[in-house]
Structure 1
Amino acid sequence: MEATDPPPASVFKQVDVLQQPLQVPNTNVVLPKGTKVFIDQAESEIRVELPAGYAFFTGSKPSPGNASLKTLPVIVIGSYTCKCGGQDGRCNVFYLSVGGFGCLHNSCTATCSGYFVTIDDKEIEGVLNLENSKISAALRTTTQSASLSPSGKQAFFDNPLVQQEILAKHQALFNGFPVPDLSKQSSRSSLQKDYVYIKTYLYGVRFYMLAPRVALVNHPEIEQISIEANTCTCSNKGECRIEKKSLLGIITVHWCEGDCDACVMAV
């Protein structure tokens, strides 16, 4: 799909191109380097345009019967506005190249709250890396990570196109090899000689899936984690936890959710 045109110059003025990633206030959304920032003349709205290779994720699923849709919808324009918590009053937006953007009180005497949505008012759950449209499992990947909210990750794994990609990878890995039942922790010790988790990426979203060791013999580039892993740990300050989701009743994917930068699955 073609990207939306940037905001008209007569209404919005470009004020910056991000030189480093920037987190949208009070969200899990991290805008990548190269994002263009626009602000309107009344300072009532900021719009951002993602660079090539990225798209906002709203959690919306493809329309049924739309056979021409081969990838996730490409949405590259986001809108940040501020609303007054009182019945009357107005809030302004502001942008600083060194500090990001946020809300200012104009005539509002209550709280000014920021909202980040698409230009057709859909809630933005995060940013995806469109160049990673096929599952990657390289040990030293150069894939730019996605930034998704917890609800965004749930919606991501619910997306039929995402499920199809993961299922195809699962079938290629097992290729007739028996799929074990790991629902009982006691069975994992006896199975770990034959099975591992592998760290994978799809659209920049990192997750873990089960694989037979025999399928990985000639792939030392794939990072492997013991199937006895049942938690996630941070390498810096913060906390994280393990999450999982069953897809199509066939495969269970795991991922780490938390407030630290380096959250990984561990025993």
Structure 2
Amino acid sequence: MHPAELLRQAGLKPYPLEALSGGEMGQVWRAGPYVVKTHPSPPTGLFRAEARGLWALAQAGVRVPQVYWASEAGLVLEYLPPGPPNWEGLARMLAALHRLRPPAYGWDEPVFLGSFALPEGTNLDWPRFWKEKRIRPLLEATWPALGTLGPRLEALLDQPLPQEGPTLLHGDLWQGNVWHTPDGPALLDPSVWWGERAVDLAMMTLFGGFPAEFWRLYRTLYPIPLEVERALPRYQVYYLLLHVHLFGPRYLPLLARTLEQA
């Protein structure tokens, strides 16, 4: 759907459109005080899931863009102007987020990692939930491309995982989904659900981008146990399987190296 039509449906006046970087998952425009997100063929529920995730993060005290309109065709969000990096503010915000303790693992609504749909539902058994509801769907989607890595991944699923308890996850927390504003850092493009904070930490360390000053304060506010640090490559597999599924075999070498670390 054309972004001007989304603004009309939302009851908002039109503005000149400026294309923004939307990554691989859709198209993004600035329209005056708004950001409009669309997709050429969005999976059912994709944009409504993002809107619910932004609302959940806002309720948890995280700065996010306000949602003005959400439909199957797209989103209309608040435009947040850029500001100076505030890594201290981000460390405090994420440490507070990760200290939340919801009652279970999972999510009661559909969850998307990028455009990949993941099963909804909750469970108190973290290893079982992680294996069956998060890794197994991605493993099945990528199996033909994995070759000898497939059986190695399956064997990894049966190894025990350290647990700190469920928290509210951003779910796709790389540097590109952090936006610094004049009022402090904000989070964008979430894949929100309740899980071990190691899921967020894994993405934060997979592609880099969070400087030492961030990590010093975050670790002071919420220390990371050694066993959790050592398990991060096993959680990074989650994101790398998605990259193999979406972008092809060029991510297989990184997946193989991550399996060696795991």
The alignment's TM-score, normalised by the length of structure 1, stands at 0.30
Structure ranking higher in helix proportion = 2
Structure ranking higher in strand proportion = 1
Whose Rg is larger? Answer: 1
Report 1 or 2 for greater relative contact order, CA contacts < 8 Å, sequence distance ≥ 6.
Answer: 2
The alignment's TM-score, normalised by the length of structure 2, stands at 0.31
